[in-house]
């Protein structure tokens, strides 16, 4: 693999001067990786039987559903992915792209088709791709994946990334030439193809209508986090990505932290008696000039868990009748929710369309304005009013009370929104940021959301905040070694069940903030107990095989 990568890098240097500078200048050779404990050596390859360590596995994603519902009313696990373990390989199945990924521990022989099928049969209509892990050099064509890679500390294994990246280390790498070239009519397909071929795997999003772009990319891997139905469902894709790097143990610990914080916030919000009605709206000119209400499941879930009530799209449909059109937010996943669209050109004037749309939103206390702004810092309350044909004398509650939020509260120096990056891995931060905005609660941290009607400005993420040595900026930097997660099966290992329980208990013991004025001490005690019990149950069910 190292020799192939070197040949590709040389080709890049000859064909596209400057491109090779964006490829890590040094990766581990197989012998180096064996010596560093990242790849299997002779002792393991000669063993009669090997197995992945118990605490380096993740369990079925579905099993958290029932136990978590007791504490957070239906918070469940990732619905589009699954993982199974063989002796020295893993089989990951991704439903949207209809693909299966066989991940073989480096230093070990690739399993036969029969061996793989015994672990996880290939579903009809699916294709299978093979990878050697842990991956050393990857590319990603979407910011969605970058938040997960950051959470796993894998910045040093990413060679190319989306130009819309917001994380400080991604910005730092981009300045050294690590941006993935755009494709299509306005991009550079030749450069992009060479970049992708210089990596072992490419984490991708499916196209608008299908996943043919992923299916046709030999080393393409679909990450469906943004298409999954709920905030925690999306966050649990951390474990899926971690499997490509033997980082399941770290992913499980990180997800437990997220789960504890999120479940506590959701349980606390359930104690509130008066909850504002919240609508996610936008004015779109794509395909048609229209006002839009987004009733996407993860957004509605987030509003509920932050202490609000999402505007009912069906109720708006009933109020506006056939003038309002509905469509699935994700065509292949009805559980992801719907989008409701009011075509402005169907009315005599834009003012008439606005009057109809906002009459249907007459019960809304807070709006989350998702209109695109090329420079979010320049987008003000006046811009919002103009965009929707409103004025500041309106009797609408969210205008009178200045409750207009936007999702551009955290952004990069290049004006890219962190909402589309780190939020997938950290829904607990989004819920806290939204709760802060809904209740003007200064004790909570500002993240993602800002109140444009009250003059709040975006917080900037700077490249100078990154303290990690990035391979794309220094050719002598090699990825940090990742320890082996397989052993001789004859050697006893600590069970994950015990580890998970003790870890979860320590997390939940500190999850409840002190002095929260929105719930009584008794309520806080019952919430903490409910969350602790739910997480304890989650730990013991999701890791049992």
Both tokens assigned to 230: 């709920």
Q: How confident is the model at residue 61 (pLDDT cuts 50, 70, 90)?
A: low
Q: How confident is the model at residue 65 (pLDDT cuts 50, 70, 90)?
A: very low
- Is residue 324 domain-shared with residue 350, that is, in the same domain? yes
Q: How confident is the model at residue 151 (pLDDT cuts 50, 70, 90)?
A: very high
Q: How confident is the model at residue 60 (pLDDT cuts 50, 70, 90)?
A: low
Domain boundary among 463, 483, 510: 463
The number of angstroms, rounded, from the C-alpha of 399 to the middle of its chain's C-alpha atoms is 32
Domain boundary among 463, 481, 511: 463
Average pLDDT score over residue span 215-223: 96
249: Cβ–Cβ under 8 A, 6 or more apart, which residues? 55, 56, 485
- Is residue 30 domain-shared with residue 161, that is, in the same domain? yes
- Is residue 173 domain-shared with residue 250, that is, in the same domain? yes
State pLDDT tens for residues 168-185.
999 999 999 999 999 888
Q: Across the chain, what does the average pLDDT equal?
A: 84
Average pLDDT score over residue span 286-297: 93
- Is residue 331 domain-shared with residue 400, that is, in the same domain? yes
Q: Which residues in 351-409 belong to E strands, given as ranges?
A: 366-369, 404-406
State pLDDT tens for residues 467-478.
988 888 888 888
Least confident of 67-81, 358-372, 479-493: 67-81
492: Cβ–Cβ under 8 A, 6 or more apart, which residues? none
CB 131 within 8 A of CB 243: no
What integer pLDDT is reported at residue 10 of this predicted model?
46
- Is residue 203 domain-shared with residue 304, that is, in the same domain? no
Cα distances (angstroms) measured from residue 25 to each of 178, 212, 348: 12, 32, 61
CA distance linking residue 271 with residue 158, whole number of Å: 43
Q: How confident is the model at residue 342 (pLDDT cuts 50, 70, 90)?
A: very high
Residue 375: how many other CB atoms lie within 10 Å: 10
Is residue 7 predicted with pLDDT exceeding 80?
Answer: no
Is residue 512 predicted with pLDDT exceeding 60?
Answer: no
Domain boundary among 399, 428, 463: 463
- Is residue 262 domain-shared with residue 281, that is, in the same domain? no
Residue span of the structural domain in which 38 resides? 2-266+466-542
What integer pLDDT is reported at residue 490 of this predicted model?
57
What is the chain's length? Answer: 545
Is residue 493 predicted with pLDDT exceeding 60?
Answer: no
- Give the whole-number percent of the chain exceeding pLDDT 70: 81
Q: Which helix (H) or strand (E) holds 127?
A: strand 127-133
Is residue 545 predicted with pLDDT exceeding 50?
Answer: no
Helices (H), 361-412: 381-387, 397-400
Q: Count the domains in the chain.
A: 2
- Is residue 144 domain-shared with residue 16, that is, in the same domain? yes
- Is residue 281 domain-shared with residue 356, that is, in the same domain? yes
- Is residue 321 domain-shared with residue 225, that is, in the same domain? no
- Is residue 279 domain-shared with residue 365, that is, in the same domain? yes
Is residue 378 predicted with pLDDT exceeding 50?
Answer: yes
**CATH code of 447's domain:** 3.40.50
Q: Which helix (H) or strand (E) holds 50?
A: strand 50-52
pTM of structure: 0.84
What integer pLDDT is reported at residue 78 of this predicted model?
58
Among 411-415, 500-504, 535-539, top mean pLDDT goes to 411-415
Is residue 160 predicted with pLDDT exceeding 90?
Answer: yes
CA distance linking residue 142 with residue 220, whole number of Å: 13
Rounded (to 5) percent helix, strand, coil in the chain: 45, 15, 40
CA distance linking residue 22 with residue 473, whole number of Å: 8
CA distance linking residue 151 with residue 156, whole number of Å: 12
Least confident of 57-66, 185-194, 255-264, 369-378: 57-66
What integer pLDDT is reported at residue 448 of this predicted model?
98
511: Cβ–Cβ under 8 A, 6 or more apart, which residues? 260, 261, 264, 528, 531
- Is residue 192 domain-shared with residue 225, that is, in the same domain? yes
- Is residue 370 domain-shared with residue 497, that is, in the same domain? no
CA distance linking residue 281 with residue 388, whole number of Å: 10
State pLDDT tens for residues 10-59.
444 444 444 444 344 467 888 999 999 999 998 888 877 788 888 888 87
Q: Which helix (H) or strand (E) holds 172?
A: helix 168-175
């Amino acid at each position: 693999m190292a020799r192939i990568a070197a040949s590709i890098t040389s080709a890049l240097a000859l064909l596209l001067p400057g491109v090779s500078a964006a490829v890590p200048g040094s990766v581990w050779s197989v012998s180096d990786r064996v010596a560093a404990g990242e790849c299997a050596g002779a002792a393991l390859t000669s063993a009669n039987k090997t197995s992945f360590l118990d605490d380096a596995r993740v369990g079925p994603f579905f099993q958290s559903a029932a136990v978590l519902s007791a504490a957070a009313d239906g918070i469940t696990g990732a619905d589009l992915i699954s993982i199974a373990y063989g002796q020295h390989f893993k089989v990951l199945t991704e439903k949207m792209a209809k693909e299966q990924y066989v991940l073989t521990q480096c230093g070990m022989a690739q399993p036969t088709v029969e061996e793989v099928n015994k672990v996880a049969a290939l579903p009809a209509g699916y294709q299978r791709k093979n990878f050697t892990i842990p991956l050393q050099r990857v590319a990603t064509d979407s910011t969605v994946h970058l938040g997960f890679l950051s959470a796993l500390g894998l910045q040093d294994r990413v060679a190319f990334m989306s130009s819309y990246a917001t994380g400080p280390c991604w910005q730092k790498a981009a300045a050294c030439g690590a941006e993935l070239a755009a494709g299509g009519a306005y991009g550079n397909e030749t450069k992009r193809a060479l970049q992708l071929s210089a990596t072992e795997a490419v984490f991708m999003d499916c196209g608008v209508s299908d996943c043919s772009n992923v299916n046709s990319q030999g080393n393409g891997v679909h990450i469906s986090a943004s298409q999954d139905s709920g905030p925690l469902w999306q966050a649990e894709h951390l474990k899926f990505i971690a499997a490509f790097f033997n980082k399941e143990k770290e992913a499980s610990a990180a997800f437990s932290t997220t789960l504890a914080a999120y479940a506590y916030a959701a349980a606390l919000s359930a104690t509130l008696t008066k909850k504002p009605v919240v609508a996610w709206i936008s004015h779109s000119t794509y395909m048609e000039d229209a006002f839009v209400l987004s009733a996407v499941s993860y957004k509605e879930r987030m509003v509920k868990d932050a202490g609000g009530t999402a505007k009912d799209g069906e109720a708006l449909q009933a109020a506006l009748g056939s003038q309002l059109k509905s469509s699935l937010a994700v065509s292949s996943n009805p559980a992801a929710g719907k989008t409701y669209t009011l075509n402005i050109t169907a009315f005599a004037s834009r003012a008439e369309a606005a009057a109809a749309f906002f009459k249907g939103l007459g019960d809304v206390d807070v709006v989350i304005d998702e209109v695109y702004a090329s420079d979010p810092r320049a987008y003000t309350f006046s811009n919002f009013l103009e965009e929707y044909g409103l004025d500041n004398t309106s009797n609408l509650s969210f205008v009178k009370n200045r409750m207009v939020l936007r999702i551009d509260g955290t952004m990069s120096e290049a004006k890219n929104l962190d909402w589309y990056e780190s939020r997938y891995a950290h829904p607990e931060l989004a819920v806290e940021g939204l709760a802060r905005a809904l209740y003007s609660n200064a004790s909570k941290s500002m993240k993602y959301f800002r109140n444009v009607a009250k003059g709040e400005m975006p917080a900037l993420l700077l490249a100078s905040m990154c303290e990690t040595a990035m391979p794309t900026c220094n050719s002598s930097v090699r990825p940090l070694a990742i320890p082996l997660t397989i052993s001789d099966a004859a050697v006893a290992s600590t069970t994950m069940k015990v580890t998970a329980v003790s870890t979860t208990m320590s997390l939940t013991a500190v999850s409840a903030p002190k002095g929260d004025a929105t719930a009584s001490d008794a309520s806080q005690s019952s919430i903490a107990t409910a969350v602790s019990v739910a997480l304890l149950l989650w730990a013991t069910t999701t890791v049992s095989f």
